Amino acid sequence: MLDLRVLVTGGAGFIGSHLCERLLAAGCRVTILDDFNDYYDPALKRRNIEGMRDRLEVVEADIRDAVLLERCFAKGNFDVVIHLAARAGVRPSIANPKLYMTTNIEGTFNLLDACRYYGVKNFLFASSSSVYGVNTKVPFAESDPIERTISPYAATKLACEQICSNYSHLFGIRMRCLRFFTVYGPRQRPDLAIASFTAAILDGRPITRFGGGQSLRDYTYIDDIVEGILLSMSDQGGQYQVINLGGHATTSLSHLIEMIERYTGNKARINEAGEQAGDVPKTYADVNKAREILHWEPKVPLETGLERYVAWVKQQREQ
């Protein structure tokens, strides 16, 4: 991995900033491409990369801007593109589906086309467990037929996997579409359940528990996700692969809240609400393919990861 030139889109975000730290430590030359949009406070993203700015290049650009992307690729001479940038979140995609279609699908197409014209032969795409939709078979395996996504966000991720497959087949680009399962840890987006619940419980504010707390999620700690991405850069699994990266365990929303109560030392004030549109009832990753191709295994159980996360939040509040 030493001396690879790597472009990380969305590199100032939660997953991207952790990944960039690891890439720099491995000796890579890293360029971040991020538009620092206001989906959440851009100051948080700038803070994520504050300690790395003198060791990498930061390009502020929107992946929908093909002209700016072309300039970035012409200058960068990249060996690998790791595409994390996207409009994220199920519920906002229902409120504004056009933004998700243009950013996620058109933006991914622009990046793939730039790879085609500038000879980049290694592309990693951050997909999502949401593509499985209302899949009733568990755990979810990459070979499962996907027949019913239930949010625009999920639909864009599945569409991008197909475009990646096209470009791999037609233009010889090595592709890895990595389906992330509910990633959490330090620096995670403030709108995500673990972050918002932890902050509210520490502050004594009420939280909303949807669907009676019965939904099940497979939570994956950030360190495990980053390790999976790094291993995907050089595995020998062939030209195109879709690979799950998940914790290979499920936890109910109610149990998640109980664990956060335990580690914060505070009792949650809970408001009950019905099920939310676009939310799948459960996610659960079959990680056998990741084991076989990447020799990857999730190492951080939810209890450990949550304890680390709550400790990090408390530390941030003390600064």
Active site residues: 153
Per-residue CA distances from 121 to 24, 41, 202, 254 (Å)? 21, 34, 47, 44
- Please tell me whether residue 253 adopts helix, strand or coil conformation: helix
- Please tell me whether residue 210 adopts helix, strand or coil conformation: strand
CA angle 313, 33, 121 (to 5 degrees): 120
Residue identified by tokens 């497979």 is 218
Q: Is the backbone peptide bond immediately before 298 cis, with ω within 30 degrees of 0?
A: no
Q: Which of 80, 10, 3, 14 is nearest to 226 (CA)?
A: 14
CA dist 284 and 243 (Å) reads 13
- Crossing angle for the helix pair 66-76 and 107-118, to the nearest 10 degrees: 40
In terms of DSSP bridges, do strands 251-252 and 216-217 run parallel, antiparallel, or are they unpaired? antiparallel
- Crossing angle for the helix pair 253-264 and 193-203, to the nearest 10 degrees: 40
CA dist 275 and 209 (Å) reads 9
